[in-house]
Structure 1
Amino acid sequence: MSTRLAVTGAGTVLSGDIAAPLVIGADTVVCDDGVITAVGSHEELSGLVESADQVLDAAGSTLAPGLIDSHCHVVLGDYTPRQKTVDFLASYVHGGITSVVSPGEIHAPGRPHSAAGVKALAIAARSCFENFRPGGMRVHAGAVILEPVLRPHDFAELQQAGVHLAKFGFGLYEDPATGAPQVRWAQEHGITVMCHSGGASIPGSKPITPEHLLELAPDVCGHINGGPTSLPDAGVDTIIEQTSMALQLVQAGNLRSSIRILRKAHDEGRLDRIVIGSDTPTGTGVMPLGVIKTVAELSSFSGVDPALVWAAASGNNARTWGLPAGFLRVGSAADLVVMDAPWGSTADDALGALRIGDIPGISAVVCGGEVRALLSRNTPRAARLASATPALAHLTATH
Structure 2
Amino acid sequence: MPDLIITNIGTLVSGDWENPVLDCNTVAIRGGLIDAVGGAELLSRYPDAQVLDAMGVTVAPGLIDSHCHPCVGDYTFRQKTADFLESEVHGGVTTMISAGEPHFPGRPKDAAGAKAQAIFLSKCFRNQSPLGAKIHGGALILEQGLVEADFAEMAREGVWLVGEIGLGSVKSPADAAPLVEIAKRYGFRVAMHTGGTSIPGSSPVSADDVIRTGPTVASHCNGGPTSISTAEAERIIRESDAAVEIVQCGNYRMTNFILETAGKLGQWGRVIFGNDAPSGTGMIPLGILRNVCYASSVCGVPPAVAVAMATGNTARVFGLNTGVIAPGREADIVCLDAPIGSVADTALGAIEAGDIPGVTYVIINGRVAVVKSRNTPPGNRTPRPAGQNDA
Q: Which residue of 1 aligns with 2:33?
A: 35
Q: Which of 229, 232, 235 does residue 232 from structure 1 map onto?
A: 229
Shift of 1:175: 3.9
- What are the Cα deviations for residues 197-224 of structure 1, in whole angstroms up to 9, with x where unaligned? 0111222221111121122111110011
In structure 2, C-alpha distance between the alignment counterparts of 1:90 and 1:3, rounded to whole Å? 25
Q: Which of 79, 83, 92 does residue 83 from structure 1 map onto?
A: 79
Shift of 1:230: 5.2
- What are the Cα deviations for residues 29-57 of structure 1, in whole angstroms up to 9, with x where unaligned? 11112111011111x202145421x3221
In structure 1, C-alpha distance between the alignment counterparts of 2:228 and 2:8, rounded to whole Å? 45
Identity over aligned pairs, percent: 47
In the alignment, is residue 287 of structure 1 matched against residue 303 of structure 2? no
In structure 2, C-alpha distance between the alignment counterparts of 1:379 and 1:199, rounded to whole Å? 32
Q: Which residue of 2 aligns with 1:3?
A: 2
Shift of 1:133: 2.5
- Tell me, what secondary structure is at the counterpart of 1:362? strand
TM-score using structure 1 length: 0.94
Shift of 1:85: 1.3
Q: Which of 102, 119, 122 does residue 123 from structure 1 map onto?
A: 119
Cα RMSD between the aligned structures?
1.5
In the alignment, is residue 380 of structure 1 matched against residue 377 of structure 2? yes
Q: Which residue of 2 aligns with 1:165?
A: 161
Q: Which amino acid aligns with 2:282?
A: G
- What are the Cα deviations for residues 213-244 of structure 1, in whole angstroms up to 9, with x where unaligned? 12211111001111443521111111111111
Q: Which residue of 2 aligns with 1:60?
A: 56
- What are the Cα deviations for residues 331-356 of structure 1, in whole angstroms up to 9, with x where unaligned? 11111011111111111200010001
Shift of 1:368: 1.1
Shift of 1:95: 0.2
Q: Which amino acid aligns with 1:19?
A: E
In the alignment, is residue 17 of structure 1 matched against residue 16 of structure 2? yes
In structure 1, C-alpha distance between the alignment counterparts of 2:224 and 2:72, rounded to whole Å? 22
Q: Which residue of 2 aligns with 1:136?
A: 132
Q: Which residue of 1 aligns with 2:267?
A: 270
In structure 1, C-alpha distance between the alignment counterparts of 2:146 and 2:124, rounded to whole Å? 23
- Tell me, what secondary structure is at the counterpart of 2:37? strand
Shift of 1:154: 1.2
User: 8 Å contact 1:49–1:55 — kept in the other structure?
Assistant: no
Q: Which amino acid aligns with 1:186?
A: A
Q: How does 1:340-355 map to 2 (within 5 A)?
A: 340-355=337-352
Q: Which residue of 1 aligns with 2:188?
A: 191
In 2 relative to 1, CA 390–156 (structure 1 residues): closer, same or farther, beyond 3 Å? farther
User: 8 Å contact 2:293–2:351 — kept in the other structure?
Assistant: yes
Shift of 1:122: 0.6
Q: Which amino acid aligns with 1:374?
A: V
User: 8 Å contact 2:34–2:329 — kept in the other structure?
Assistant: yes
Q: Which amino acid aligns with 1:140?
A: H
Is the deviation greater in 214-223 or in 168-177?
Answer: 168-177
Gaps of 5+ in 1: none
- What are the Cα deviations for residues 92-144 of structure 1, in whole angstroms up to 9, with x where unaligned? 11100000000011111111111110111110111011111311211111111
In structure 1, C-alpha distance between the alignment counterparts of 2:316 and 2:85, rounded to whole Å? 22
- What are the Cα deviations for residues 161-201 of structure 1, in whole angstroms up to 9, with x where unaligned? 12111021111146454322211211122111110001112
Q: Which residue of 2 aligns with 1:260?
A: 257
Aligned length: 388
In structure 1, C-alpha distance between the alignment counterparts of 2:363 and 2:172, rounded to whole Å? 45
- What are the Cα deviations for residues 46-72 of structure 1, in whole angstroms up to 9, with x where unaligned? 2145421x3221100100000000001
Q: Which amino acid aligns with 2:27?
A: V
In 2 relative to 1, CA 140–58 (structure 1 residues): closer, same or farther, beyond 3 Å? same
User: 8 Å contact 2:74–2:130 — kept in the other structure?
Assistant: yes
Shift of 1:388: 2.7
In 2 relative to 1, CA 174–350 (structure 1 residues): closer, same or farther, beyond 3 Å? closer
In 2 relative to 1, CA 65–116 (structure 1 residues): closer, same or farther, beyond 3 Å? same
User: 8 Å contact 1:37–1:330 — kept in the other structure?
Assistant: yes
Q: Which residue of 1 aligns with 2:201?
A: 204
- Tell me, what secondary structure is at the counterpart of 2:298? helix
User: 8 Å contact 1:177–1:212 — kept in the other structure?
Assistant: no
- Tell me, what secondary structure is at the counterpart of 1:166? strand
In structure 1, C-alpha distance between the alignment counterparts of 2:127 and 2:177, rounded to whole Å? 33
Gaps of 5+ in 2: none
TM-score using structure 2 length: 0.96
User: 8 Å contact 2:110–2:144 — kept in the other structure?
Assistant: no
In 2 relative to 1, CA 389–79 (structure 1 residues): closer, same or farther, beyond 3 Å? farther
Q: Which amino acid aligns with 1:254?
A: N
